[in-house]
Structure 1
Amino acid sequence: MVEVHTKKPLQFKVRAVVTVRNKIKEDFKETMLKHLDAINDSIETRNVVLELISTEIDPKTKSPKKSSKAAGQRNPMSKQRVNYTTEFIVDSNFGVPGAITVTNKHQREFFLESITIEGFFSGAVHFPCKSWVQGERIFFSNKGV
């Protein structure tokens, strides 16, 4: 009888940086919602949630491999921009992310400029979003497969 040992893939950490642009002109209601969203970010009740989608197919499910969902941590840069950062733990056989889902759990929509994922062996993966997000959206990378 031959024993077959299946090796678990190694895991490593990758970091996502999400850049959101604030509205330049806001009315009173928008200003209040922005402050409420900032408070909710700090206590993590509402946030920006990301999920990586690989260019690799999972042989069991026959669909693209997905990371676990991760919530971003708010890092104000200026009056005009806010960064959200988060980390994912992915398997070494995850491949390269070809897409990412972004879920906006805030009270109001925001303008998502870009997302950069750092830590993959193939280099940084950039998602040029340039789009308003309310609810869930999917964006694709600019890196060829």
Structure 2
Amino acid sequence: MSIVTLLPFIVLIGAMFLMTRSAKKKQQAAAQMRNEMQPGTGVRTIGGMYATVKEVGDETVLLEVAPGVHAVYAKNAIGAVLEDAEYNRIVHGDDADAAVVPDDASSLTESVEDGDEDAVEVSGEAKPDLTKKVDAAEADTEVKKDGKADGEADAK
């Protein structure tokens, strides 16, 4: 066999080796992160719930999901161990520099101005007018079924 025939197989094996190596490193980093959990640290589960670690076992973690509410989770269910500042910012809103985000996007929409023809007011909110507007030039040159516009003659 020639090297040209073996080259695709060599490239494929090399790519598979690099992908498995990368995945193995990610798994090791996640396991290390879970093993470094201490009682009192904030965590985010893989389901997106934020909680405080109360006890750490071999395979399980006791989390306080609300004051006085405890739940037992598998260590594999911990998606991220958070720093204290980040956990307090997310859970308690303890960040003086954080921008205030409204509950809805009503502050992001502009109000309808008088004479604004392109907006239609529906229940107090500005909505764009999605109806098709045809100008006079387009209306004069309608295309017929044969593909020719009005006023075009057949050139034979």
TM over 0.5: no
Instruction: Please give the range of the TM-score, normalised by the shorter of the 2 chains.
Output: under 0.3
TM-score computed with the length of structure 2 as normaliser: 0.21
Q: Which has the higher contact order (CA 8 A, sep 6+)?
A: 1
Name the one with the larger helix percent.
2
TM-score computed with the length of structure 1 as normaliser: 0.22
Name the one with the larger strand percent.
1
The structure number with the bigger radius of gyration is 2
